């Protein structure tokens, strides 16, 4: 009887895998719900403020300034004299802000949502057509280590901060058009104030994480001729594409972060510390680059999430557990898998009966 209880106490690998899949689905649902509900906190703020003061929300607000013609004449960019010696100080009212406003409310605000929507649509069509990619060979319980604890901690820290910055940043960028009709001016003002604080304080920590990620993973993502074969065979001919530790697509994702992502980080620092970087033009240019590249980054991240879940099933295990199945490694990173076998890094995961492995090696025995 004791032996029976001991065997049932060990969780079945299939049940454990299903439990992890459910947790992953619940986590993604929680992120999506949080993204939708976070801006609604403005409702709560306005309701509490109105209840405390007894004031009624203002029912109207002016779209145009009645003195706009006077200020339009003053924004001609004519230079005069000023005792203040700084860029643009000789101009009473710079027109840089107006040009920035037209670009921000024009191409950036109009094209940006379409970019994200089209990427999501493309991912949805790929998922419907292909159904994702499963591991072709039956799982034998053999595993290979892929990511260290530090790598996983860094990845998830950056991922969480990325979602926080994406939600708050998109709220600030599109809130006037998308959230004011939903929350009203007072509700949006409350949420925008909170979103700005969260965005500004999360940003520097995110920058540190990105820099550490680029430095730590640079050695894995140096281009080789195998990457070009991966793009040609996998992307053009549809055949098997050989790959090392990182395939061509993963390296392209890394170098996007190491270039465009770094630009987003640098422009973010400029915007958070305006006193250190003088010039109205610099701030305007930084904000346009920051928002445009951030939108593109968010869109490509949708593809990254797809590949880590349905696109190449089994990939997420590497960033959750630190190791992946040998069958997954052989199918997606065959050159790296052969290298791991030669180094004796492959091991066998403890099965449900506890017959393999021991407590001294955490249930892992050489394959």
Considering the entire predicted model, what is its pTM? 0.74
pLDDT by residue (tens digit) across 114-125? 889 999 999 999
How buried is 209 (Cβ within 10 angstroms: 0-12 exposed, 13-18 middle, 19+ buried)? buried
Say what the pLDDT of residue 363 is. Answer: 46
Say what the pLDDT of residue 359 is. Answer: 33
In percent, the amount of the chain with pLDDT more than 90 equals 40
Average pLDDT over residues 83-101: 66
Which comes out higher in pLDDT, residue 11 or 182?
182
Q: What is the CA radius of gyration of the chain?
A: 26
pLDDT by residue (tens digit) across 277-309? 766 778 888 889 999 999 999 999 999 999 998
Which comes out higher in pLDDT, residue 247 or 366?
247
How confident is residue 85, by pLDDT bands cut at 50, 70 and 90? low
First vs last C-alpha separation in the chain: 32
Say what the pLDDT of residue 355 is. Answer: 33
- With contact defined as beta carbons under 8 Å apart, do 146 and 198 qualify? no
Residue 53 has pLDDT above 60, yes or no: no
Cβ density class 68-83: b for 16+ within 10 Å, e for less: eeeeeeeeeeeeeeee
Say what the pLDDT of residue 62 is. Answer: 56
Which comes out higher in pLDDT, residue 190 or 357?
190
How confident is residue 41, by pLDDT bands cut at 50, 70 and 90? low
- Pairwise CA distance, residues 150 & 87, whole Å: 44
The phi, psi pair for 132, rounded to 5°, reads 85, 180
- With contact defined as beta carbons under 8 Å apart, do 203 and 240 qualify? no
Average pLDDT over residues 23-47: 62
Residue 202 has pLDDT above 90, yes or no: yes
Query: Worst-scoring range by mean pLDDT, 74-78, 215-219, 223-227, 297-301?
Result: 74-78
What are the DSSP calls for 231-286, one per residue? Answer: IIIIIII-S-----SS-HHHHHHHHHIIIIIHHHHHHHHHHH-GGGS--HHHHHHH
How confident is residue 4, by pLDDT bands cut at 50, 70 and 90? very low
Average pLDDT over residues 232-238: 61
pLDDT by residue (tens digit) across 243-279? 999 999 999 999 999 999 999 999 999 989 887 876 6
Say what the pLDDT of residue 148 is. Answer: 95
Minimal CA–CA distance to 290: which of 259, 265, 273, 272?
265
Say what the pLDDT of residue 235 is. Answer: 54
pLDDT by residue (tens digit) across 148-181? 999 999 999 999 999 999 999 999 888 888 888 8
Residue 351 has pLDDT above 50, yes or no: no
How confident is residue 5, by pLDDT bands cut at 50, 70 and 90? very low
86's tokens: 């700084």
Average pLDDT over residues 16-38: 64
């Amino acid at each position: 009887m004791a032996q029976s209880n001991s065997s049932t106490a060990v969780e079945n690998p299939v049940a454990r895998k299903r439990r992890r899949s459910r947790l992953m689905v619940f986590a993604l649902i929680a992120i999506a719900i949080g993204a939708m509900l976070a801006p609604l906190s403005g409702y709560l703020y306005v309701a509490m403020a109105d209840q405390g003061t007894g004031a009624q929300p203002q029912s109207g607000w002016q779209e145009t300034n009645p003195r706009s013609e006077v200020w339009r004449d003053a924004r001609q960019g004519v230079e005069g004299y000023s005792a203040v010696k700084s860029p643009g100080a000789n101009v009473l009212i710079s027109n840089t802000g107006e040009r920035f406003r037209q670009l921000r409310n024009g191409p950036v605000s109009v094209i940006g949502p379409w970019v994200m929507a089209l990427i999501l649509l493309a991912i949805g069509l790929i998922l419907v057509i292909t159904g994702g990619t499963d591991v072709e060979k039956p799982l034998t319980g053999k595993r290979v280590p892929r990511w260290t604890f530090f790598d996983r901690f860094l990845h998830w820290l950056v991922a969480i901060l990325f979602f926080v910055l994406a939600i708050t940043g998109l709220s600030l960028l599109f809130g006037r058009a998308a959230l004011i009709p939903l929350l009203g001016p007072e509700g949006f003002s409350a949420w925008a104030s909170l979103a700005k604080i969260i965005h500004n304080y999360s940003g520097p920590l995110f920058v540190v994480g990105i820099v550490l990620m680029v430095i730590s993973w640079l050695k894995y993502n140096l281009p080789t001729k195998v990457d070009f074969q991966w793009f040609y065979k996998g992307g053009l001919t549809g055949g098997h594409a050989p790959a090392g530790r990182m395939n061509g697509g993963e390296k392209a994702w890394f170098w996007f972060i190491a270039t465009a992502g770094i630009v987003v980080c640098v422009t973010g620092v400029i915007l958070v510390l305006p006193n250190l970087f003088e010039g109205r033009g610099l701030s305007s240019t930084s904000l346009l680059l920051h928002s445009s590249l951030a939108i593109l980054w968010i869109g490509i991240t949708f593809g990254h999430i797809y590949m880590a879940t349905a696109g190449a099933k089994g990939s997420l295990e590497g960033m959750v557990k630190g190791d992946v199945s040998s069958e997954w490694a052989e199918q997606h990173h065959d050159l790296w898998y052969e290298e791991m076998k030669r180094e004796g890094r492959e091991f066998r995961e403890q099965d449900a009966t506890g017959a393999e492995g021991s407590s001294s090696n955490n249930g892992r025995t050489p394959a």
